[in-house]
Amino acid sequence: MMNAKSSPDRADSMATKKAIVYFTCPHEIKDKLQAWAEAEGRSLSNLMERIAITAVDQAEKSKGE
């Protein structure tokens, strides 16, 4: 049996030019984020990317004021 790292299908679908960032959070927060992502038809990764982009944009705007 192949594991996830050696699976050609998984490797092709996971190929990205984006940086990978890991973070930790309480299980309750992860569950809420997962539910939010599912409600929007997104992956958890995509939701976290959108949250990070919005936060960075807001921080940059507040610095310019």
Structure confidence by residue, pLDDT tens digits, 10-59: 555 566 799 999 999 999 999 999 999 999 999 999 999 999 999 999 99
Task: Determine the pLDDT at residue 42.
Answer: 97
**Global pTM exceeds 0.75:** no
Q: What is the largest CA-CA distance in the chain?
A: 57
Cα separation, 30 vs 27, in Å, equals 5
Task: Determine the pLDDT at residue 1.
Answer: 46
In the chain, where the domains are located: 25-65
Secondary structure of residue 33 in the 3-state scheme:
helix
Cα separation, 22 vs 17, in Å, equals 16
